[in-house]
Amino acid sequence: MSEIIHRRPWPLNTVIWLFVLCWVFIAGFPFLWTMWGSFKVQGDFFSKADWAYAISGVRTQVETGGAFTGDGYFGSWITKSFWVAALNTMIVVISVVVISLTLGTLGGYALARSGKKYAFYLLMLALVFRAMPHITLVSGYLLPFFEWNLWGHLPTAIIVMVAINQPFTLWMLHSFFLNIPKDLDESAMVDGCTRFQAFRRVIVPVMWPGVVTTGLFSFLLAYNDFTVTATLLSQANQTMVPKIASFLGTTQTEGNVMFAVAAVVSATAPLFLLVMVFQRQIVSGLTSGAVKG
């Protein structure tokens, strides 16, 4: 039967192919182009003479002697100490993921097994906090943090991000734990486990798919965040995204724009890998909300 559905007239087929190709081009080309350009000098990537210079690398040949140059990367990572920002990002992201997953699994499991209908309120909370612009929350945090001298440190930003993310994490893990049959831990408890042992020995081994999906979204939130990190961290503790934004403020001099380009490409690379490895989980995470909600 599906054969008949899938047979369609050739003009329609062509249109579909063209459309999808077009979309793939629009979606993918900017990244490809920027990656290619990051190995050129500014005279090529922002060419006043001819945009084709960016492909052939005429100025790059003249200025550095090769068709490709790592100057942008060297400048941003070493000279402008982008590596510090990368390190900070790693600390922040890993802590946010670990903390929010720990709280989320324990809390989500407890809520799922407590028998009351929390799902709705959790969902509402998650929705409301998704809707709230982060900056409004941050403007509330800022003054007390100044008063208590907490401003500018990495742990502060980590705690704030965990807090913003927690309702969502709880809701996702909660609905995931609801899908694990109750019989599983009940039978473990009949066999003499305590509640916590049942959780550790029976639930933990089967919960990884849900945890991975939720962790991915915490990761994306922490990694992509600009508002919280830009306003709550001091210059020395900046993570990658605000660092790139600050590059822009100071990089009007010749050649330095390429630092920002190189930094952008370096910051995008981990996300590429992430999507490549976890595509299935990201898609399922995005759609589970839709199917259930």
Partner 1 sequence: MVLFIALPIGSVFIQSLHIEHVAVLKEVKNCGPFGCKLEVQIDVEASAQIKEEQPLGKFNGFGTYKNRNHLATRELALAWTDSPNWGKFLSKTYNLPFYRALAFTLTYTFVVTPLVLLLGFCIALGVNSLPKQFKGPTIFVSLLPMIVTPLIGSLILFWMIDAEGILGSMLQWLFEDPNLSLKASPTLTWIMLIIYGIWHSAPFAFIVFYAGLQTVPTDTIEAAMIDGASRWERTRYVVLPHLVPLIVFISLIQLMDNFRVFEPIVSFSAQASATSLSWIIYNDLAGGEGIFFGSAGATSVLTILGVAVLLIPVLLRTWRDFKGKVV
Site for partner 1 in 197-256 (CB under 8 A): 220, 223-224, 226-227, 230-231, 241, 244-245, 248
**Whole-number Å distance between alpha carbons of 22 and 28:** 10
Residues of this chain, 99-128, that bind partner 1 according to CB under 8 A: 117, 120, 123-125, 127-128
> From the CB of 68, what's the least distance to partner 1, in Å?
18
Among 66, 70, 140, 155, binds partner 1 (CB under 8 A): 140
CB of 194 to partner 1, least distance (A): 27
Choose which of 94, 184, 204, 275 interacts with partner 1 (CB under 8 A).
275
Q: Does 262 bind partner 1 (CB under 8 A)?
A: no
Contacts with partner 1: how many residues (CB under 8 A)? 88
Work out whether 144 is an interface residue with partner 1 (CB under 8 A): yes
Closest CA to 189 of 177, 181, 197: 197
**What is the dihedral angle through the alpha carbons of 78, 79, 80, 83, rounded to the nearest 10 degrees?**
10
71-90 residues in contact with partner 1 (CB under 8 A) are none
Q: With respect to partner 1, which residue has the nearer C-beta, 128 or 190?
A: 128
Contacts (Cβ under 8 Å, ≥6 apart) of 233: 88, 152, 153, 154, 157, 239, 242
Nearer to partner 1, 19 or 208 (CB): 19
Q: Which amino acid makes up residue 84?
A: V
Per-residue contact flags (x/-) with partner 1 for residues 6 to 45, judged by CB under 8 A: x-x---x---xx-xx--xx-xxx-xx-xx--x-------x
Minimum distance of partner 1 from residue 263's CB (angstroms):
9
77, 96, 174, 266 from 91: Cα distances, Å: 17, 8, 27, 17
Q: Which pair of tokens denotes residue 81?
A: 């100490």
DSSP letter at 236 equals G
CA atoms within 13 A on the CB side of 62: 8
